[in-house]
Amino acid sequence: MDAKTVRDVDVGGKRVFVRADLNVPLDDNRITDDNRIRASLPTIVYLLEHGASVVLASHLGRPKGKVNDALRLRPVAERLGQLLGRPVRMTGDALGPGVQVAVDKLQPGDLLLLENLRFHAAEEANDPEFAEALAGLADLYVNDAFGAAHRAHASTEGITHHLPAVAGLLMEREVDALTRLLVRPARPFHAVIGGAKVSGKLEVLEALLSRCQAVLVGGGMANTFLAAKGIELGKSLVEEDQLGAAEHIMSEARRKRVRLMLPTDAVVAPQIHHRARVRTVTIGEVPKDMMVVDIGPETLTAFTEHLAKAQTIFWNGPMGVFEMPQMADGTNAMARFIAGRTAKGVVTVVGGGDSVAAVEQLGLADRMTHVSTGGGASLEFLEGKTLPGVAALLPADAEIELDGGSR
């Protein structure tokens, strides 16, 4: 990574503001997936063990600049405490007199978690005064929130105008793993792209066509490509306003001689429901009263046979409605297959979002080369875009002066 990291700084006796991505899914105040908390542990532990006092900050959900009791970080503090084996103190707000008092009491090795940053509209607005106030809490800024690095918010970009800014260990791993896909992937490099809609992934598809030898499209987004070829798909989700874009992607794939594979059979159901009965049909024979909910076994075989030739695999997006057991076979089988390729020396990267959830549910995360914590961030990185939270970090050859907390 071409940026300073937390290992490049003597943090002993310093107060460090760590922006983490602790935006975990909650169900009635219960964390259903703690992967992002676990991913943040190495940086937190490193700083504490090296004598820093840590002011930890994150957002949770989308409170839209207002206090929302359902989106308080208390469950995160409790889970983090369990993982660290010590209680984690919290503030009642991200800023204010009470926060300053709590921060002033911190001693080397202490940890304090601020309340949800997005309870303040100034956070997402990247308000300069809010950013400066956050910076006033510390001597050094560490960005470990790759999942929020594509947003120029007060805690990801604005704060870096007032403090020396370095990468956390998770940020370093994310950037290094994804950079490898951009500049030196082992070939053949194949991508598996799924999920519900084409509209959110047009740019990454365009980018992948310039880097990959094959792109395999599944999930609901494959319907739009199939519809663009004139295939009837019953009640299936089809983005009618994206048919032209799908045609363009297919044309570009032909022009660049990239193999773009689409499903040849599908699992269909009358509705998306845990009791819905499913059956498999050939693409082109989807009944008018049914919808595609997963790739079929013929498609899975074709996809995996082609992926067996790859030396690098990037996967983003499920192959079907994996939340329903009877509609999850394609996604689960794909996850198991890709995990198995890792053992064969293939570089396997899972790029955020629901595909990560599927991998986590199956207990396969540690069998992938890299599982990204950033959905949108990982896609924008692969599109070749500059991520504000990454660009704001000090370059690797920069000198850091912590006295007074200025750059």
As annotated, the active-site residues are: 36, 197, 353, 376
What angle, rounded to 10 degrees, do the helices at 354-361 and 329-342 form?
Answer: 80
Conformational region of residue 29, where left means phi above 0, alpha means psi within -120 to 50, and beta covers everything else: left
Contact 9, 140 (CB under 8 A): yes
Length of the chain: 407
Q: How far apart are CA 238 and CA 198, in angstroms?
A: 9
Whole-number Å distance between alpha carbons of 91 and 108: 18
| Residue 60 DSSP SS3 | coil
For residue 363, what are the contacts with CB-CB under 8 A and spacing of at least 6? none
Residue 267 tokens read as 């699992």
Residue that is written with structure tokens 């219960």 in the block: 30
Cβ neighbours of residue 146 closer than 8 Å, sequence gap 6 or more: 21, 170, 171, 174, 175, 372, 373, 374, 377, 378, 389
- d(C-alpha 68, C-alpha 301), whole Å: 47
| Token representation of residue 273 | 């429901």
In this structure, what is the dihedral angle of CA atoms 21, 25, 30, 34, given to the nearest 10 degrees? Answer: -50
Q: Amino acid identity of 290?
A: M
73 HSE (CA, 13 A, CB side): 28
Q: Phi first, then psi: give them for residue 161, nearest 5 degrees.
A: -80, -5
Distance CA 80, CA 246 (A): 43
DSSP state at residue 67 = -
| Count of other CB atoms within 10 angstroms of residue 400 | 14
**Residue 104 to residue 137: CA distance in whole angstroms:** 8
